[in-house]
Amino acid sequence: MPRYALKIEYHGKPFVGWQRQTDLTSVQGCIESALRVLEKDHQGIQGAGRTDAGVHATGQVAHLDMATDWDPFRLSEALNFHLKPNPIAITNCARVEDDFHARFTALERTYHFRLIARRAPVTHDEGLVWQVRKPLDLAAMQTGANHLLGRHDFTTFRSTICQADSPVRTLDELSITEHAYEGGTEYHFKIRARSFLHNQVRSFVGTLEHVGSGSWHPGRVRDALDAKDRSHCGTVCPPHGLYLAHVKYPTDPFA
C-alpha cells in the first residue's frame, strides 16, 4: 500500500483538538471522514503532534496508507474538497517510503505563539492571538526564557494530567521577538524541541507574560523550574495564540 505524507493547516477553534474522540469534532476525525469518502475502509492517519482544543497549525504533518496509488496532488485536492466547510486545508502531499512515520520519524517540532498587547479589542485576529492590555518587557522575558533552555525536569511546566513517562525534555530554542504596529505590539514566541509535554508551551508563555508585565523577576523562572512542582508555574495561557508551525525530519518529505 502506498504511503503518503500530508502537510496540514487548521484553525483550532471548532475542534476538541487533533486527536479523534468519539462523538466530538476533532481535526484527525474530520480528515479521516474525508478519507473514507475516497476509500470506505480506510484505517486512518497518524499525526506528528496532538494539539489541544483551540490550538492551530500551519505545519502539522500526518502519514497515511492508501489502497490505491494516488497522484499526490489529486489526493490533496480530493481531501480539500471533502473537508469543506471545516477550517482544515491540506497544503502539501507527497509519496514517502513505507518506513516514514509522522510521529516517530520526526526529529524536532516548532511551535509559534502570538501575543498582542493593546487596549482596543482585536478584530481581524480574534481567536488567533492572546491579547493583554499593556506592553511587556521583551528583554526581561528573554532573560527568563533563557533559564528554560537545555535538558531539564519540566514537572513545573506540564499539566497534572500529562501522560508522558518522564518530565525530562530538552528545550532547544525559546526566542521572543517584538513587532510594533499602529495601536499595539505583537510578541512572537518560537519554541523548538524534539518533543513536548502536555501544556508545556502554554505554561512557558503564561509564565513569561508574568515576567514581561513585571509581576515576576526573570530569576523566578529558574526558581520555578528547580521547584519541580506544578504549583510554582505561572498562569497557563489560553490556546488560541498557539500554532504547530513546523515538524523536522531527517529528509524533508515535501522537498
CA–CA separation, 235 vs 205, rounded Å?
A: 8
- Which domains, ranges and CATH numbers included, belong to the chain? 3-105 (3.30.70.580), 108-246 (3.30.70.660)
Q: Do 117 and 213 contact (CB within 8 A), yes or no? A: no
What pLDDT was estimated at residue 181? 84
Q: Model confidence at 144, in pLDDT bands (50, 70, 90)?
A: very high
Residues 6+ apart with CB under 8 A from 211: 137, 140, 141, 143, 144, 217, 218, 220, 221
**CA-angle at 230, arms to 224 and 234, nearest 5°:** 60
- Ranges of beta strands (E only) in the chain are 3-10, 46-47, 56-65, 88-96, 108-117, 130-132, 150-153, 168-181, 184-193, 242-248
Q: How remote is the C-alpha of 220 from its chain's centroid?
A: 26
Mean pLDDT of all residues in the chain?
A: 96
**What are the catalytic residues?**
52
Q: Is the pTM of the predicted complex or chain greater than 0.85?
A: yes
Q: Do 243 and 115 contact (CB within 8 A), yes or no? A: no
What pLDDT was estimated at residue 191? 98
First-to-last C-alpha distance (Å) of the chain: 22
In terms of DSSP H, where are the helices of 15-150? Answer: 27-38, 72-83, 138-146
Provide the phi-psi class of 146: left if phi over 0, else alpha when psi is between -120 and 50, else beta.
Answer: alpha
Could you read off the pLDDT of 71-99 as tens digits, one per residue?
999 999 999 999 999 999 999 999 999 99
